[in-house]
């Protein structure tokens, strides 16, 4: 796993971001506005990490050890001091060491976690993918009906139903499960194992 010896900005949040996932952000704290300006200026990614203890505002929170790198795909500042962002998860990472800056921002040196290896779709994959397609189509149709041309899809393109990891990641974002459970799923190194757990959940709750 390659290590990044430079310091990466961290954004501790009460959410878990998966590779390929889309996250809208509304940022107004000065420290994070400064951080994001630097990221945009230097075309630098930042890491989204689930808060282990603490809060999103105030003193620096303690993050979980594994998070997801992101890149900014859209931004807007219609109101002074309020930055609206749309970011997309890219690759998971493990925090090797971290530090707290004077303004209570977090930075970390990280080790990147290799992407899940692709494989031929099996029956579990195909069933989860076909059901996911129905769910995504329903979300998209309702969103377009409600918001028209202003509708912004919560999914990035292209949709990758042929990828077990992508299908598992999207289910992990959609399902109503606790944040700690999402974090444990993010930490799994095998995308097919993640999908197998999702499949069991879908069976138990009679979704498939």
Mean pLDDT in residue range 50-63: 91
Asked if residue 118 belongs to a domain, the reply is no
On whether the CB atoms of residues 16 and 65 are closer than 8 A, the answer is no
The per-residue pLDDT for range 61-104, each reduced to its tens digit, is 999 999 999 999 999 988 888 999 999 999 999 999 999 999 99
Q: Is the pLDDT of residue 2 over 60?
A: no
pLDDT, position 91? 94
Q: How confident is the model at residue 4 (pLDDT cuts 50, 70, 90)?
A: low
Asked if residue 117 belongs to a domain, the reply is no
Asked if residue 46 belongs to a domain, the reply is yes
Tell me: do 103 and 132 sit in the same domain: no
Tell me: do 9 and 70 sit in the same domain: yes
Q: How confident is the model at residue 5 (pLDDT cuts 50, 70, 90)?
A: low
The pTM assigned to this predicted structure is 0.91
Tell me: do 104 and 146 sit in the same domain: no
Q: Is the pLDDT of residue 39 over 60?
A: yes
Number of domains in the chain: 2
Structural domain of residue 197, as residue ranges? Answer: 123-204
Q: Of 120 and 137, which is predicted with more confidence?
A: 137
The per-residue pLDDT for range 95-130, each reduced to its tens digit, is 999 999 999 999 999 999 987 766 677 999 999 999
Residue positions counted in the chain: 208
Q: Any bridge partners for residue 24, and if so which?
A: 86
pLDDT, position 170? 97
Percentage, residues of the chain above pLDDT 70: 96
Q: Is the pLDDT of residue 1 over 60?
A: no
Q: How far is CA 42 from the centre of its chain?
A: 21
pLDDT, position 80? 81
Tell me: do 7 and 101 sit in the same domain: yes
- CA R_g for the chain: 18
Please provide the DSSP assignment of 14-38 as one string: SS---TTBEEEEEE--HHHHHHHHH
On whether the CB atoms of residues 98 and 9 are closer than 8 A, the answer is no
Mean pLDDT for all residues in the chain: 92
Domain holding 198: CATH number?
1.10.4060.10
């Amino acid at each position: 796993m390659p290590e990044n010896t430079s310091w990466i900005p961290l954004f501790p949040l009460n959410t878990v971001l998966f590779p390929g996932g889309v996250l809208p952000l509304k940022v107004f704290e000065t420290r994070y506005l400064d951080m994001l300006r630097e990221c945009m200026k230097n075309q630098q990614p930042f890491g989204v990490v689930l808060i282990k203890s603490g809060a999103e505002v105030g003193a620096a929170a303690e993050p979980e050890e594994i998070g997801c790198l992101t890149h900014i795909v859209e931004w807007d500042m219609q109101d002074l001091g309020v930055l609206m962002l749309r970011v997309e998860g890219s690759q998971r990472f493990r925090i090797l060491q971290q530090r707290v800056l004077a303004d209570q921002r977090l930075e970390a040196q990280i080790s990147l976690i290799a992407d899940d290896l692709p494989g031929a779709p099996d029956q579990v994959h195909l069933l989860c993918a076909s059901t996911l397609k129905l769910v995504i189509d329903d979300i998209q149709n309702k969103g377009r009906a409600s918001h028209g041309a202003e509708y912004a899809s919560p999914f990035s393109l292209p949709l990758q139903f042929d990828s077990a990891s992508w299908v598992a990641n999207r289910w992990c974002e959609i399902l109503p499960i606790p944040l700690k459970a999402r974090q444990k799923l993010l930490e799994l190194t095998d995308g097919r194992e993640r999908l197998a757990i999702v499949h069991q959940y879908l069976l138990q709750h009679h979704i498939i």
